[in-house]
Amino acid sequence: MTRLLLAGAISMVVSLLGTRALITWLTQHRIGQPIRDDGPEGHFTKAGTPTMGGVAIVAGAAAGYVVSDFFGGIYTRTGIFVMMAIVGGGAVGLVDDWIKVIAARNLGLNKRAKMLGLVIVGLGFAFLVTEYTHVATSISFTRWDNPGWDIGRVSWMLWALLLIAATTNAVNLTDGLDGLAAGAGAFGFAAFTVICFWQFRHPEFYANPHALDLAVIATAMVGGIIGFLWWNAAPAQIFMGDTGSLAIGSGLAALSLVTSTNLLLPIIGGLFVMETVSVILQILVFRLGKGRRLFRMAPIHHHFELGGWPETTVIVRLWILSGLCTGMGLALFYADAINAGITA
């Protein structure tokens, strides 16, 4: 428990101070976020707001993880590989963000280059955990044997790549309002803190010997996001950029894979799923309906904005929805434990 508290506290402080320093440095160098021309009119005033704040989230989480391990902890391979996935996703996003601000346009890496970066991160993570840890190569809901469809190493690596790519892009799509993706990400990592600590308490049932180290990482990410959110809350003084969204997405996907809860992730991250589905439906209706639109604008948070909801109202209501999804995911996880006879 001490490691969890230290990881969260250190990460939050580093992120809080680091984000403030980033705002100052980026403002002095006039490095800001370009705004898409076809976005809501109210967003044009945000042009030039410092971006790449995800650097502080990743730095805070890494510091919290490393320093907390000095207090009775032991680094595990699984934990190190998950942290590498977070840093790797953030690195791909950082390159994308840097190209955007240098070129002064809302387009960074092209789709192929960004996907190549995510493929390297996803396959690299999948190879390392299947080669050097005892991760279960099964598609599972709440534990390795529920339902426990073992698909073999190669297929699991492809499944891991798909999950990481899907989750990073889902978080990226959600990152369109001040603090929206950060708040939802904090809910997600808080859920994995509970899941990992519960698995640590019951190793004979979950067969996850590195669960405590994973709980430390999840807690460190919560702290990093909270420290950043202090400055990212509406009206945002800094954006996380792709650096933050890809790091958060990589971390959530990686934790779900090594805890054998990959089918539970879409429920815990229900807001991210909703945002992604809204974009897919918008494209399908537009193409099949000869130019018709299902929503005023996608992702769906823009639909509510254009419907007259103030930005803060949209953010808070979607946070509530995200919290409910997280609660539902944890309830299903605990219900499975109760059915198996574990209650403490």
Q: What is the mean pLDDT of residues 294-298?
A: 91
- Please report where in the chains the tokens 């990400």 appear, as a residue: 185
Our CA angle for 303, 266, 59, nearest 5°, is 90
In the prediction, which pLDDT does 261 show?
97
Q: How many CA atoms lie within 13 A of 115 on its CB side?
A: 5
pLDDT above 90 for 107:
no
Whether 268 and 191 have beta carbons less than 8 Å apart is answered as yes
If one compares 148 and 71, the residue with the highest pLDDT of the two is: 148
Mean pLDDT of 315-324: 98
pTM of the model: 0.94
Of 91, 117, 106, nearest to 244 by C-alpha is: 91
Helix (H, G, I), strand (E, B) or coil at 174: helix
Q: Which residue has the tokens 């709440």?
A: 142
Alpha-carbon distance of 241 to 232, in angstroms, equals 11
* Rounded Cα gap, residues 244 and 17, in angstroms: 16
Q: At which residue do the structure tokens 């998950």 appear? A: 82
| Average predicted confidence (pLDDT) for the chain | 91
Residue 179 confidence class, pLDDT cut points 50, 70, 90: very high
CA distance 209 to 95: 35
Nearest 5°: the CA angle 264, 268, 271 is 130
**Each residue of 132-141: pLDDT tens digit?**
999 999 999 9
What pLDDT score was predicted for residue 47? 65
Lowest mean pLDDT among 34-43, 193-202, 229-238, 256-265: 34-43
pLDDT above 80: residue 43: no
> Is 60 exceeded by the pLDDT of residue 192?
yes
Q: Which residue has the tokens 């054998």?
A: 260
Output the CA angle 160-62-164, nearest 5 degrees.
Answer: 15
Q: What are phi and psi of 299, to 5 degrees?
A: -65, 170
- What's the pLDDT at 62? 97
